Amino acid sequence: MKILRSVLMVLFALSVVLPVAWVFFSSIKSNSDITLSPFAVTNPPAWGNFEKAWTEQDLGAAFVFSLLVTVLTIVVLIPIGSMMAYALSKYKFKGSGAILGLVTMGMLFPNLLAAVPLFLTMVKIGLDDTLLGLVLAYVAYSLSFTVFVLHGFFSALPDELGEAATIDGAGHWSLFLRVMMPLAKPGIWVVLIFNAIGLWNEYNLAKILMLKQKTLPVGLSDLISQQQYAGDWGAIFAGAVLVMVPVLTLYLVLKDKVQQAMLAGAIK
């Protein structure tokens, strides 16, 4: 029984690791080696694939743009999201429950449902195809999850803390910034990591909103559909490595935090 369990475990792990590893190996192989000897490791490594992907196919620009979008979105999202979650969890007023419901309801519906009007709105306010437009859309569509998770963390902090601090003369802002935010740090980590990974990988909104400046996932997907006839698999695999490496590195460095973040919406 124990052996069966181990076999099952290892089999699925292999089905995950082997294709990913194959992409990594293939990214440093010439196109003919990829087709003719798919499993061999070739010497010398064909680093040229990365050069091609980075410069010729413009994935370098897409990489930098994705990084910028991810960082900017996080910088705007985390303060706005924490303020909303905090106010909705610690200040009960008429309609606070309804607002929370409205904000978290966004998690149920796929964002692309609103693709047509969202695109039209962006054009109307002159932010289509711009960095700012994409960042604002990302912040808006990331709020549901962020507020949902942080609301849980803030609600778990005892109200007496606030009462004690208020007696000591702390105002609303200093109570929030000096007392509550530091205590909600585990929650901030969760939304930070979850959103950073999700935004780096985001495809749907970037695909419909960004026509000229592409993010890395969209750039890679365009490369895949262009190159399917040209057959330049080396550059495609190099592009895939570019999109996977930052996330997998983060995972290896902060394994427990990433696991917690990915399951956070599900398990408290």
Q: 212-251: which residues touch other proteins (CB under 8 A)? A: 216-218, 220-221, 224-225, 231, 233, 236-237, 240, 243-244, 247-248, 251
**Residue 262 Cα to chain centre, angstroms:** 10
Q: Which stretch binds other proteins (CB under 8 A): 45-53, 67-75, 96-104, 151-159?
A: 96-104
Window 171-190: residues binding other proteins (CB under 8 A) = 171-173, 176
User: Which residues have CB under 8 Å from 33's CB, separation 6+?
Assistant: 40, 42, 46
Residue 207 burial by CB count (10 A; 0-12/13-18/19+): exposed, middle or buried? middle
Nearer to other proteins, 18 or 164 (CB): 18
Q: Is 130 in the site for other proteins (CB under 8 A)?
A: no
Measured CA angle at 116 (ends 112, 118), to 5 deg: 80
Q: Is the dihedral of CA 168, 172, 173, 176 positive or negative?
A: positive
- Least CB distance from residue 93 to other proteins, whole Å? 7
Q: How far is the CB of 123 from other proteins (least distance, A)?
A: 6
Dihedral over Cα of 27, 28, 30, 32: its sign: negative
Which residue number, 119 or 189, has a Cβ lying nearer to other proteins? 119
Stretch that binds other proteins, among 4-12, 48-56, 151-159, 184-192 (CB under 8 A): 4-12
| Choices 13-21, 41-49, 55-63, 153-161 (CB under 8 A): range interacting with other proteins | 13-21
Contact characters 134-153, other proteins, x per CB under 8 A: --xx-xxx-xx--x------
Beta carbons within 10 angstroms of residue 49's beta carbon: 25
* Contact stretch for other proteins (CB under 8 A) within 33-41, 44-52, 154-162, 182-190: 33-41
Window contacting other proteins (CB under 8 A); options: 53-61, 156-164, 178-186, 204-212: 204-212
Q: Is 34 in the site for other proteins (CB under 8 A)?
A: yes
Hey, CA dihedral for 143, 149, 155, 157, is it positive or negative?
negative
Q: Which amino acid is at 93?
A: F
Closest CA to 118 of 204, 222, 214, 198: 204
Structure token digits, residue 3: 């052996």
Quick note: the x/- pattern for other proteins over 40-79, rule CB under 8 A, is ----------------------------------------
Alpha carbons 163 and 246: distance in angstroms, whole number: 43
